[in-house]
């Protein structure tokens, strides 16, 4: 389901302003001015600035989890290919929506307890996909890391942090960044390639 044009404009404006000023530094008027709409339109569409924040954070996590689940579904059974797939999905979401990712990581403290639990549950679901893929690779002798749980956390954290510095017009484009991080992730888990010498 698509947003109506007003809601879409307000969400887009809120993402830009909150990513720049922070949630508590952003006013409803800031969002209205950025969107080119009235203050009343914010309240009519979302009820409050806080509800806008909740929508932004939940949608970002929903998109991330869905993209990663889809990548995993189509990746086959090889642990290395499965890890490549989920790293690609995770990075793809963070390079395509770096501002949403920045808000998602910096504004958890602004959420009320019930909303924080929901967003955290989605983050945990995302992490568990990496946990399972890496644990499976270790069990099958394809990955050699002695610390699969911590390695999975390391990979997810590194991929998420890309949103703090990635720029579409930078030295690395998104596809090349994904390729490099896929190789880094495979190195981190101690990927054993077929035919490699002991």
Residues 77 and 134 in one domain: yes
Range of the domain at 149: 54-188
Chunked into runs of 10 residues, the chain (198 residues) has average pLDDT values of 82 96 96 94 93 96 96 96 98 92 93 97 97 98 97 96 87 93 97 65
Q: Scan for tokens 């109506």, then name that residue.
A: 4
Q: What is the pLDDT of residue 4?
A: 87
Together in a domain, 88 and 6? no
Global confidence as pTM: 0.90
pLDDT of res. 79: 97
What confidence score (pLDDT) does residue 43 get? 93
87 and 7 in a common domain: no
Q: In terms of domains, do 94 and 156 share one? A: yes
Kindly state whether residues 102 and 152 are assigned to the same domain.
yes
User: Do residue 168 and residue 91 come from a single domain?
Assistant: yes
- Whether residue 10 is found in the same domain as residue 89: no
User: How many angstroms separate the CA atoms of 124 and 81, rounded?
Assistant: 22
- Asked if residue 134 is part of any domain, the answer here is yes
Q: Is residue 198 part of a domain?
A: no
- pLDDT for 129 equals 98
Residue at 166 is within a domain: yes
193 part of a folded domain = no
- In a domain, residue 159? The reply is yes
- What is the number of domains present in the chain? 2
Domain annotation covers residue 89? yes
Contacts of 66 (CB under 8 A, 6+ apart): none
Is 117 inside a domain boundary?
A: yes
Whether residues 27 and 81 share a domain: the answer is no
The whole-number pLDDT of residue 191 equals 97
Bridge partners, residue 143, by sequence: 191
Q: How far is CA 53 from CA 92, 119, 120, 177, 178, in A?
A: 22, 12, 15, 29, 28
Residue 128 and residue 146: Cα distance in Å, rounded? 18
Indicate whether 102 and 10 sit together in one domain.
no
**Whether residues 19 and 72 fall in one domain:** no
Instruction: Kindly state whether residues 90 and 108 are assigned to the same domain.
Output: yes
Residues 112 and 180 in one domain: yes
Cβ pair 14, 21 in contact under 8 A: no
């Amino acid at each position: 389901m698509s947003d109506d044009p007003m809601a879409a404009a307000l969400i887009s404006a809120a993402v830009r302003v909150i990513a720049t000023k922070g949630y508590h530094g952003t006013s409803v008027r800031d969002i209205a001015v950025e969107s080119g709409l009235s203050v009343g339109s914010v309240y009519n569409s979302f009820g409050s600035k806080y509800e806008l924040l909740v929508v932004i954070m939940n949608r970002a996590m929903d998109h991330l989890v869905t993209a990663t689940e889809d990548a995993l579904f189509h990746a086959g059974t090889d642990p290395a290919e499965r890890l490549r797939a989920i790293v690609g999905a995770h990075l793809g979401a963070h390079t395509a929506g770096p501002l949403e990712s920045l808000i998602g990581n910096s504004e958890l403290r602004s959420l009320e307890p019930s909303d924080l639990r929901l967003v955290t549950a989605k983050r945990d679901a995302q992490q568990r996909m990496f946990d399972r893929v890496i644990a499976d690779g270790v069990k099958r002798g394809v990955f050699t890391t002695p610390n699969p749980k911590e390695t999975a956390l390391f990979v997810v954290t590194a991929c998420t942090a890309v949103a703090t510095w990635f720029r579409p017009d930078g030295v690395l484009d998104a596809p090349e960044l994904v390729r490099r991080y896929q190789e880094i992730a495979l190195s981190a888990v101690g990927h054993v390639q077929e035919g490699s010498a002991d």
